[in-house]
Chain A
Amino acid sequence: MISETSLSMTGPFLSMTGPFLSMTGKAPCLGFSWSWMLDGWIVVVGALSAVASSLLGNFLVLRKMSMLGDAITHAVLPGIAVAFLVSQTRSSLPMFVGAVVVGLLTALFTEWIRGAGGVDEGASMGVVFTSLFALGLVILVQTADAVDLDPNCVLYGSIELTPLDTVAVLGYQVPRAAAVLSVVTVINALFVLLFFKELRLTSFDPALATTMGFSSTWMHYGLMVLVSVTAVACFESVGSILVVAMFVVPAAAAYMLTDRLGVMIAISVALAIISAVLGHLMALSIPTWIGYRSTTTSGMIAVAAGGLFFAAATFGPRHGVVVKLVRRQLLSLRILCDDIVASLFRGEELEHPAPKTTWLAGELFASTWSMKMALTLLRRRGEVVVHDDALRLTEIGRERGQRLVRSHRLWEQYLVDRAGSGAERIHDQAERFEHFTDRNLRDELARETDAPVEDPHGRPIPDEN
């Protein structure tokens, strides 16, 4: 296996990596090598930018302005370019200032175009950020000769190079990106913690917030300042694609998994970290399985986040597709069991001979497969016995059938008596309600309808057992 996969982009810097290489360990089972000094820092930088973005992303998603993260990430480009032009340095401070100013302008222009032009928010964002992004590119290309700045780097980032550009923090050599992103992450975390209540209120009910003196406008622009700062801090190292993904994807996935805001934020942070670790491992390993060298980590982190979202959307406990499907299947199975027992009870009432499985399946519009499932369940519960393909109720089954039929007929009586429904419509309604009627509800129904002995069709209402 290739031993310096993670260094594939660092060719010119290899001379600097001497001390790091000695720490490179082999992980033969995974098929790639892992160096804590390189890969460890790459994961840390990826995780920090993912966490910083997703903290704010929760509120972008909940305020239905996920794309504003995208817009600002692109639109800050002219801010950076102009900052270069003016300051002629690559130092961070002018870049930050330029980016934040343009980030705020993006939010302001978007609001303004929406309000004044009556254009919807998505369209006005599209207008603002493409214009600003294009302007930024023009300025960058014009100044590229004079200033040492590579547009590609702004677009795609270079997370693989971040461990090589270090600064001293408390006597330790730490990648500059990690130091900067730590600060941004702490600021964002403090913002979310301190203003949790205010963010929740202004996101949920901006009108009420404003009447209480929590200006939703100020919260909005506070959020936009941090989104701009985060976007600039991140995309220098991880590229704009990953920033956009991290503003939206972990928060959207967390939204599928919980219905509490605090939990949603915690889950989004966890998903952001998992995406970073998983993304880098995937970038190192997956290409080698098919005979290539490692691929871009930023891209893979975004792919991992997308994968996690897909998993959340599929298997989530409340909104997940699979859970909904299973729940619906279980409910229809339960209803079929009820229907079998109830119709066997009615058959006995009329002293019909015990019905065949296939005949009853036809009566209840049940497929052979679901009929088989239901009968297995009923036999295991000891409510139904099958004898020569004929279905009979046991004593337990008869009691349940009696309860169901009682519910059904009490409902019919109630609907005619109390709700004033026409006799021709009540059967279908009662048929639905009987599956969700317990002892208490039945007693209440009997009380409300003065304990009748016959339903509106003149059939006897069996006693409670």
Chain B
Amino acid sequence: MLNPQERTDETNLPTAARDDGSGADVPLSVYDLTVAYHRKPVIWDVGFDLPAGQLIGIVGPNGAGKSTLLKAVMDLIPRASGRVRIFGDTYRDNRHRVGYVPQRESVDWQFPVSALDVVAMGLYDKIGWCRPVRKKHRDQAREALTRVGIGDLADRQISQLSGGQQQRTFLARALVQDADLYLMDEPFAAVDAATERAIVEILRDLKARGKTAAVIHHDLQTVPEYFDYVVLLNMRVVAHGAVEETFTQDNLQKTYGGRLTLLDEVTEAMRRRESSI
């Protein structure tokens, strides 16, 4: 693999590259991040700084490694190489400043909990080990559910919520976490129009309160409307920057249509090597 320092101008490197404690104002800095499943790279040499206080869309085709990127940032999956800094520090040190909204399909909605129980989970970190969920926590959770517009469904078992209501429950859970950086994995997937509007409202509200949200997004049409900043990802970062400059036909072509010939070739070679052993 190329050493990025030979390739890129030092001043353009993500703050995570220096690792000198700088970048406390950068919500998320990623440098040289590579993740592989069964030695096949899923994301390769990913690096960027995200600007604070903005709504950031992470866009790319299926299998581009978008979810993998978020999971690797939060140490949920091992990384082959690279460095991640959250507000200038490691994830472990700053994890209380990060709120995570996983994909809706990632949990079992038949699980015997109510919407309120799920939202209260966002407070477990603050409550701490072995302490029970108290009334003030439940009140806080109920308030968050009201904020996302489903306060009256608080006591419903979660399988009795519609897809949009389930997504709002997840968002309410992220809201009670009261984080500074939100990482959301496809919150807009398969929700009704009303929920989509509600989510956009919530995102704008977060931005107004100075929070940063990095959101995996599929609908290219709405990117300029919803987001200020965009990361175009297809195994590696194709481009990142303000939407007006970066979200161009040319870059989209590179992300979705353009073949990453050399990378494809080396991946193919690795796969052949693997199977011949």
A residues at B contact (CB < 8 Å): 62, 64, 194-198, 200-201, 203-205, 207-214, 255, 258-261, 263-264
Binary contact readout B64-89 vs A (1 if CB under 8 angstroms, 0 otherwise):
00000001001110000000000000
Q: Contacts A198-B129, A212-B124 known; A204 to B106 CB distance under 8 Å?
A: no
Interface pair A213/B125, CB less than 8 Å apart: yes
Measured CB to CB, the closest approach of chain A to B24, in angstroms, equals 21
Interface pair A210/B125, CB less than 8 Å apart: no
Which residues of chain B come closer than 8 Å to A201, judged between CB atoms? 121, 124
Q: B229 within 8 Å of A by Cβ?
A: no
With contacts defined as CB atoms under 8 Å apart, how many contacts are there between chain A and chain B in the complex? 75
Q: B14 within 8 Å of A by Cβ?
A: no
Q: Which of B128-155 contact A (CB under 8 A)?
A: 129-133
Interface pair B76/A205, CB less than 8 Å apart: no
**One of A197, A203, A205 near B132 (C-beta < 8 A):** A197
Given contacts A204-B113, A259-B157, A261-B111, 12 further A-B contacts (CB under 8 A): A194-B130, A197-B124, A197-B131, A197-B133, A200-B117, A205-B121, A207-B102, A211-B100, A213-B125, A214-B124, A255-B112, A259-B112
Of A197, A211, A213, A261, most B-chain CB atoms within 10 Å: A211
What are 9 A-to-B residue pairs whose CB atoms are below 8 Å?
A200-B113, A205-B102, A208-B100, A208-B102, A212-B95, A214-B125, A214-B129, A260-B114, A261-B112
**One of A205, A211, A213, A258 near B107 (C-beta < 8 A):** A205
Which residues of chain A come closer than 8 Å to B102, judged between CB atoms? 205, 207-208
Interface pair B95/A213, CB less than 8 Å apart: yes
Measured CB to CB, the closest approach of chain A to B72, in angstroms, equals 12
Q: Which residue of B lies closest to A205 (CB)?
A: B107
Which residues of chain B come closer than 8 Å to A200, judged between CB atoms? 113, 117, 121
Interface residues on B, range: 20 to 34
Measured CB to CB, the closest approach of chain A to B71, in angstroms, equals 7
**One of A198, A207, A261 near B76 (C-beta < 8 A):** A207
Q: B260 within 8 Å of A by Cβ?
A: no
Which residues of chain A come closer than 8 Å to B76, judged between CB atoms? 207, 210-211
Interface pair B112/A264, CB less than 8 Å apart: yes
Interface pair B111/A204, CB less than 8 Å apart: yes
Q: Complex Cα distance A114/B52, Å?
A: 40
Q: B127 within 8 Å of A by Cβ?
A: yes
**One of B95, B112, B129, B157 near A211 (C-beta < 8 A):** B95
Q: B108 within 8 Å of A by Cβ?
A: yes
Measured CB to CB, the closest approach of chain A to B170, in angstroms, equals 9
Measured CB to CB, the closest approach of chain A to B74, in angstroms, equals 5
The 3 closest A-B pairs by CB, nearest first: A259-B157, A212-B125, A259-B112
Measured CB to CB, the closest approach of chain A to B232, in angstroms, equals 25
Which residues of chain A come closer than 8 Å to B71, judged between CB atoms? 207
**One of B106, B112, B131, B159 near A258 (C-beta < 8 A):** B112
Q: Complex Cα distance A210/B159, Å?
A: 24
Interface pair A62/B111, CB less than 8 Å apart: yes
Q: Complex Cα distance A129/B102, Å?
A: 34
Q: Which residue of B lies closest to A203 (CB)?
A: B111
Q: Complex Cα distance A261/B106, Å?
A: 19
Which residues of chain A come closer than 8 Å to B107, judged between CB atoms? 204-205
Which residues of chain B come closer than 8 Å to A198, judged between CB atoms? 124, 129-130
Q: B98 within 8 Å of A by Cβ?
A: yes
Which residues of chain A come closer than 8 Å to B130, judged between CB atoms? 194-195, 197-198
Q: Complex Cα distance A210/B157, Å?
A: 24
Q: Complex Cα distance A212/B92, Å?
A: 9
Q: Complex Cα distance A197/B113, Å?
A: 12
Which residues of chain A come closer than 8 Å to B114, judged between CB atoms? 259-260
Which residues of chain A come closer than 8 Å to B113, judged between CB atoms? 200, 204, 260-261
Of B75, B117, B159, most A-chain CB atoms within 10 Å: B117
Q: B13 within 8 Å of A by Cβ?
A: no
Which residues of chain A come closer than 8 Å to B131, judged between CB atoms? 197
Of B102, B124, B127, most A-chain CB atoms within 10 Å: B124
Q: Complex Cα distance A194/B131, Å?
A: 7
Q: B161 within 8 Å of A by Cβ?
A: no
Which residues of chain B come closer than 8 Å to A258, judged between CB atoms? 112
Q: Complex Cα distance A264/B113, Å?
A: 10
Which residues of chain A come closer than 8 Å to B173, judged between CB atoms? 208
Measured CB to CB, the closest approach of chain B to A463, in angstroms, equals 31
Q: Complex Cα distance A195/B129, Å?
A: 8
Q: Complex Cα distance A163/B133, Å?
A: 42
Q: Which residue of A lies closest to B118 (CB)?
A: A204
Which residues of chain B come closer than 8 Å to A261, judged between CB atoms? 111-113, 117
Q: Contacts A62-B111, A197-B132, A200-B113 known; A211 to B121 CB distance under 8 Å?
A: no
Of B106, B112, B118, B130, most A-chain CB atoms within 10 Å: B112
Q: Complex Cα distance A195/B131, Å?
A: 8
**One of B108, B133, B157 near A204 (C-beta < 8 A):** B108
Interface pair A207/B106, CB less than 8 Å apart: yes
Q: Complex Cα distance A327/B117, Å?
A: 28
Q: Which residue of B lies closest to A261 (CB)?
A: B112
Which residues of chain B come closer than 8 Å to A264, judged between CB atoms? 112
Which residues of chain B come closer than 8 Å to A207, judged between CB atoms? 71, 76, 100, 102, 106
**One of B74, B106, B157 near A205 (C-beta < 8 A):** B106
**One of B95, B112, B127 near A197 (C-beta < 8 A):** B127
Measured CB to CB, the closest approach of chain B to A261, in angstroms, equals 5
Measured CB to CB, the closest approach of chain B to A396, in angstroms, equals 33
Q: Which residue of A lies closest to B98 (CB)?
A: A211
Which residues of chain B come closer than 8 Å to A205, judged between CB atoms? 102, 106-107, 121
Which residues of chain B come closer than 8 Å to A259, judged between CB atoms? 112, 114, 157, 159
Q: Complex Cα distance A163/B132, Å?
A: 39
Q: Which residue of B lies closest to A262 (CB)?
A: B112
Q: Complex Cα distance A203/B121, Å?
A: 12
Q: Complex Cα distance A204/B133, Å?
A: 16
Q: Which residue of A lies closest to B100 (CB)?
A: A211
Binary contact readout B157-186 vs A (1 if CB under 8 angstroms, 0 otherwise):
101000000000000010000000000000
Interface pair B112/A260, CB less than 8 Å apart: yes
Q: Complex Cα distance A210/B72, Å?
A: 12
Which residues of chain A come closer than 8 Å to B157, judged between CB atoms? 259-260
Q: Complex Cα distance A201/B125, Å?
A: 11
Q: Contacts A205-B121, A207-B100, A211-B76 known; A196 to B132 CB distance under 8 Å?
A: yes
Q: Complex Cα distance A457/B59, Å?
A: 47
